[in-house]
Amino acid sequence: MPAEKSAEAELARKSRRSFLALGAGAAVVAGALYALDTEAMEDEIPASLRSVLRFNEKVVRSTLFSNDHLVATYPASAIGKLKKNGDYGMDKPIDISAWRLEVAGRQLTLDDIRTLPRVTEIIDFKCVEGWSTVTQFAGARLSDFTAKFAPGGEKSAYVGMQTPDKEYYVSLDMPSALHPQTLLAYEMNGAPLKEDHGAPLRLCIPVKYGIKNIKRIARIEYTDTRPADYWTEQGYDWYAGL
């Protein structure tokens, strides 16, 4: 039966060709995974993935991010117990009376920061690990702080912040830093900031993961070259925007 023969032969031909293609596809995937596994690292993750994170950042910053996009806020009854998840840069006790905030060549006291309008917000603090805790923070808007103590700073591309011992440090893109819900916080859950949570002054930036919410800030700088960022060096996304 020539018709049947040709049908079987045709199927065999199609099948051979398709399985070769499938095999080639599998080889491409295996090759890509091998390349990912062996390529040079950029800050602890494969450089190609770092590029995609930068691409994602561009997409988000150009299409999504807006000062009008506010994070959800909650009633006081929703406040949970924020755990202390890291003490990088805080392993020694601090003499709060001697603490000063260094910015634009000045040494500010907490009272200087208290002269700015006090803003309270109850937000969902989100850890990069995946958990979150509703927490109340009170402090000064970083945008107000910048306007008063580092005027012109807002024209820079980045803000960098450090602990007194420089053991912990973050850098932020300016739009996120100037977001209306970004605070230099001196109170948490209705009481002065406790040492575990970064007394006397920490960052509350709910448009970012917790890793950017640096505690015990000693220095703030405004710059066009991106300052170092602790967790970026450990492989995390620099933007870390929510």
Partner 1 sequence: MRGPTKIVTGGLFPVKVLEEKHKLATRWFHWINFPVLSLMIFSGMLIYWAYDPYRIGIGSFTLFHFFPNWFYDLTGIGQQLAFGMALHFAIAWLFALNGLAYVIYTVFSGEWRELLPEKKSLAEALRVAMHDMGFKVPLPPQGRYNAAQRITYSLIVLMGFLSLLSGLAIYKPAQLSWLTALLGGYEWARFEHFWLTMGYVAFFVIHIAQVIRAGWASFRAMVCGYDLVEGKNAG
Task: Please give the residue ranges that form the binding site for partner 1 (CB under 8 A).
Answer: 1-4, 7-8, 10-11, 14-15, 17-19, 22, 25, 29, 44-46, 48-50, 52-53, 56, 60, 64-66, 69-72, 124, 126-132, 206-207, 231, 234-237, 241-242
Which 8-state DSSP code applies to residue 100?
A: -
Cβ of residue 136: shortest distance to partner 1, in angstroms?
17
- Residue ranges of alpha helices (H) inside 44-120 are 47-63, 110-114
Nearer to partner 1, 151 or 233 (CB): 233
Cα–Cα distance, 27 to 203 (Å, whole number): 48
Which 8-state DSSP code applies to residue 17?
A: H
Nearer to partner 1, 113 or 171 (CB): 171
Report how far apart, in Å, the C-alpha atoms of 75 and of each of 4, 5, 94, 182, 197 are.
75, 76, 32, 19, 21
Nearer to partner 1, 62 or 97 (CB): 62
Nearer to partner 1, 112 or 124 (CB): 124
Scanning the structure block, which residue is given the tokens 């450990």?
234
Residue 92 in tokens: 């020694």
Cβ of residue 142: shortest distance to partner 1, in angstroms?
16
Cβ of residue 238: shortest distance to partner 1, in angstroms?
11
